Chains A and B, each alone.
Chain A
Amino acid sequence: MTDPLDPLLARSRDAIRLTDAEKARGRALLATRMQANPLPVASPFMPWLSPWVRGGVLATVFLMLGATGVAAASADALPHEPLYAVKVGIVEPVRIAVTLDPKARAALQVELADTRLKEIARASVEHPLPPEAAERVASLLSEHIESAQETISALDTNRKPADALELAAELQATLESHAEVLTDVDASTPAINAPLTAVQEILEREAEQTRDLAEEAATGLEDIPESELAEPVADHAEETGAALDAIAQDISGIATLDADEQRDVQASLADIRATLASSTQARAAGDLSATARLLADADRALTDLRTEIEADAALGIDVIDSD
């Protein structure tokens, strides 16, 4: 049987060609890159160990050094302070190196992006950043975001769209909620704050890209049998429920929230509880794709709320959204 589509596809394929010049130029570019970034030679440091095990040994050495207290002291360092180099040059790279699970690693990158954004907001309120420090933080922020996005794409490609959606929703909400906080910070600072503008541009661009990754992962859910979704959805439901409980418990102890803000926060929590209740119903009905989407919605709302509450407490400006 002849399929009339075959010659059509073959002709179309053959019409898309590289010229000899394009191919040669690409080869030359690649050869240059290969020279600049050569293959590794065996490490002189315990070469019989795999890179991962070597990383573990280095991390152990680091933890022993951490007993001096320098690592702990660097935790709250801001970009213009001396200990910041320890924080972003040693402490965080070791945390990343010892996190082997791809999903946990991406979650860590989202957490570090959140940390960078909090630093930017705090520094903008307390101590405007010198341009080179602002540039460094923005560069680190981009690295965390891109690394998380790469893992999200890889999870989606590797038939794990539920995990990809969970992470994408959290990253998206982190970027969008911090963008709102930085807008409030910008409005409360008297002069034009150029570093904030640059970070806002990064957030706008990356949030859009992350939104697309989330949509792609949500579409991918339809291609996965329900049996493969059961475990990640159950884990996700448990984590989101625990996160909601934690925020609900913490809220009454936050002195910086006035009565109006407490009311707004309680209203947001009620909305999130309703979304979680819908996800429970969808799960009971056996619709795990819908469950995963609803859990992602709840995660987004929780991340928004947490970012606003933390910013309100740390920055001393009113950022709780009453809408």
Chain B
Amino acid sequence: MDRIAREREFLEAYDAYAEPIFRYCFVRVRDRERALDLMHETFAKTWDHLAKGKPVDAMKPFLYAVARNASLNDLARKRAQSLDALRETVGYDPADDAVRSPEDAAEDARLHASLERLRATDREILTLRYFGGLSVLEIARTLGLRPNTVSVRLRRALDNLRALMHIDTV
């Protein structure tokens, strides 16, 4: 494939994955501006990797692995702020609440508070699946796990989240 075609392909990957990567980063760092920076950093680092002549076998899992590392580094530097602190800042504002009912907004906040209380590995896998939009196979490639392990952890993480939110399946 020539250079122009590869560049076009990478911009198409940006068009397809920028928003899901942003969502994933947002749930990890819970700050809109930081999530935007991390999304930019993810694509920039991936491009730099390609520009060094290094291969990428599967673009989507690779992007999420880069986003995951960038988020971990960001959290290590700045420490995650508590949800309470974030509500007092402009940071915790994933969407325009004018288009959501107060009930939806409250339920959303409860969901994020519960996600925050989960073990890091549970939160990671749920974030990749439900906010990043990755399949079980893609999560397995991103985290370097076996697909069966991912399935088991996903089910366990959902059970733990339900328990925290006092939700029963019907």
| Chain A partners chain B | yes
Which among A17, A34, A157 has the highest number of chain B CB atoms within 10 Å?
A34
B39 interface residue (CB < 8 Å to A): yes
Q: Are A12 and B161 in contact (CB under 8 A)?
A: no
Q: Are A30 and B14 in contact (CB under 8 A)?
A: yes
A256 interface residue (CB < 8 Å to B): no
Residues of A within 8 A of B108 (CB): 8, 11-12, 15
- The interface bits of chain A over 1-38 (1 if a CB of B lies within 8 angstroms of the residue's CB, else 0) are 11111001111110111100011001101110110011
How near does chain A come to B97, taking the closest CB pair, in angstroms?
9
A255 interface residue (CB < 8 Å to B): no
Residues of B within 8 A of A11 (CB): 104, 107-108
Q: Are A9 and B130 in contact (CB under 8 A)?
A: yes
Which among A2, A26, A37 has the highest number of chain B CB atoms within 10 Å?
A26
Interchain CA distance A30-B131 in the complex, whole Å = 23
Q: Which of B22, B72, B120 sits near A16, CB closer than 8 Å?
A: B22
Q: Are A159 and B145 in contact (CB under 8 A)?
A: yes
B90 interface residue (CB < 8 Å to A): no
Q: Are A40 and B112 in contact (CB under 8 A)?
A: no
Q: Are B47 and A26 in contact (CB under 8 A)?
A: no
Q: Which of A8, A16, A216, A219 sits near B107, CB closer than 8 Å?
A: A8
With A40-B52, A158-B144, A213-B76 as given contacts, are A18 and B11 in contact (CB-CB < 8 Å)?
no
Q: Which residue of A lies closest to B75 (CB)?
A: A212
A51 interface residue (CB < 8 Å to B): yes
* Inter-chain CB contacts under 8 Å: number: 129
Interchain CA distance A219-B122 in the complex, whole Å = 13
Interchain CA distance A107-B36 in the complex, whole Å = 33
Count how many chain A residues have C-beta atoms less than 8 Å from C-beta atoms of the other chain: 45
A205 interface residue (CB < 8 Å to B): yes
Interchain CA distance A64-B52 in the complex, whole Å = 27
Interchain CA distance A219-B112 in the complex, whole Å = 22
B69 interface residue (CB < 8 Å to A): yes
A13-B130, A30-B43 are known contacts; what are 9 more A-B pairs with Cβ within 8 Å? A3-B169, A4-B168, A5-B167, A11-B108, A41-B3, A153-B73, A154-B69, A157-B69, A157-B142
B contact set with A: CB distance below 8 Å: 3, 6-7, 10-11, 14-15, 18-19, 22-23, 26-27, 36, 39-40, 43-44, 47-48, 50-53, 65, 68-69, 72-73, 75-77, 94-95, 100, 104, 107-108, 111-112, 120-121, 130-131, 133, 142-145, 158, 161-162, 165, 167-170
Q: List 24 A-B contacts (CB under 8 A).
A: A2-B169, A4-B167, A4-B169, A9-B111, A15-B94, A16-B94, A16-B131, A18-B18, A22-B36, A27-B11, A30-B14, A30-B43, A33-B44, A37-B48, A38-B3, A39-B3, A39-B6, A39-B7, A39-B50, A51-B53, A149-B73, A153-B73, A157-B142, A157-B144
